Every structure is written in structure tokens, then in C-alpha cells.
Amino acid sequence: MMSFEGKTVIITGASRGIGYETAKLFYAAGARVYLTARTESNLNKLSKDLGGNAIAEVCDVGVLGELERVTKKVLQDTGRIDILINNAGTIDPISNIHLTSPKAWSDAIDTNLKGVFYGVHAVLPTMINQKSGCIINLGSGAAYNPLEGWSHYCASKAGVAMLTKSLQLELKNQGIRVMSLSPGTVATEMQIKIKASGVNPISKLDVSAHVPAIWPAKTLLWMCNPDSEKYIDQEVSLRDPTVLKHVGLC
């Protein structure tokens, strides 16, 4: 495992699933980790379990100003931001477009797309000033393939894909790595909701088709070290056997 001693990492959606496993790995690698999520109890438990270098910050990424507040706290504490993992996301509401609540659809866009923008916008001035940093956005195959009942999720992930490309273009040659990870289907609480919905082919997948959350977590750690340099400006996919080999998952 590469050492992240002296590095400061912000992870959104850190109270469960991919974010939870990623936080544990970065902490074990020596980083000072700021954990954000809406669920205070889960967040505080993770922070307490890990110890002093894991700081819980209750935050709704979809609310303007929340990630700005967290970023200011991080800079007060450490004076730098090295890595941002934009992991927070929601699959709610699973519903066909004519039946869905406009408010719930809008809330999903706030979390899945605007939340990514808010995080990037908050950390970029510091990273540009440092001339260093790494931003990783969680992508999805849903960005490229429409799925019944997932119009909010597909639209938001397509937006994240283009936002990532725009960032890569604007930050070229500024010392900041911008990457995205498409983890495929992962055995998290989100898959429980998808299964219960019975909507579209993803809900019909057997549990064995989903990778454990530790797989994308290990991949995110690997993406923040020089070995992944050739994947800058690309979307890293956990369906790629070469990536799995690099990460040590096969």
C-alpha cells in the first residue's frame, strides 16, 4: 500500500458503502481523512472507530455552501487539500418519468450532479494555488445507457461524465489529476433498493454479479498514486481486466 502520510483527503458519502471502505483505506495509509455524509450516527461511529486523523463533518453535498463550509474547516486545520473523492450519490426515486415527483427528481440532481460541482468548486482554488491535487468523481455505466425508472440517475451521471471531461480540459498542465471511476454494480445499500424496486434489468441481477465495496475503494486508492498516471483523462472501469490486475484484484 502506498503511503499517504501528510496528505489531506475529503471523501463525500463516507458513512456507508464505497465511501466507508475508501475512508478506512486512506486512513490506514496515513492520510488525514475528512468524512462527509448526511447520516450523523454512521459518520461519527466511523470517525470514532478510526481515530484522531478521521474527522466527521455532517454535510448535505446537494446544498449550496455545505461543501464550501467543510473545505474552509479543512484548510483551517491543515492548510491544504490533496485529494477529493466525490462519492456521494442517491438512486432515489426509482420511478418512471410520468410518475416521479419533480421535487424528488430535482433532489437527486442536486446530490448526484450539483454536489460534485460544489465539491470541485470548493477545493479548486486551493489545488490551483498548490499546483497539485487529485479529484476523482464516481461515474457509472448509467451515464451512457438509459434505464427504465432511472432517468434522474442516468441524467445526473451523464452530467458528471461531461463535468469531469470539462475539468480535465481546463486543468491540463496545472498539476491537478482529474479522473473518474465507473465501478459497475457494487454490493451496497443502493443495490438493496434497486433489487426491491423490480424495475429494469439491474434489479434482476443475482447478488453474485455485484462486486464488494472494497474493490472500488482499493481502486480509488490506486488511482491517487503515480501508477495510474496513464489513466488520466480516461474513465477507469472495474470491468477492465487490466485495471483489476493493476489494483491486485485478480
- C-alpha cell, 56: 466527521
Active site residue 144: no
Tally DSSP H helices, then E strands, for the chain. 9, 7
Question: Are 117 and 159 in contact, with CB atoms under 8 Å apart?
Answer: no
Gap between the Cα atoms of 61 and 194, Å rounded: 22
Gap between the Cα atoms of 123 and 126, Å rounded: 6
Select which of 20, 34, 118, 153 is catalytic.
153
Gap between the Cα atoms of 182 and 230, Å rounded: 16
φ, ψ of residue 131 to 5 degrees: the values are 60, 35
Gap between the Cα atoms of 123 and 183, Å rounded: 24
Please report the sign of the dihedral spanned by the C-alpha atoms of residue 229, residue 230, residue 233, residue 236.
negative
Q: Any residues with CB less than 8 A from the CB of 170 and at least 6 apart, and which? A: none
Catalytic residues: 153
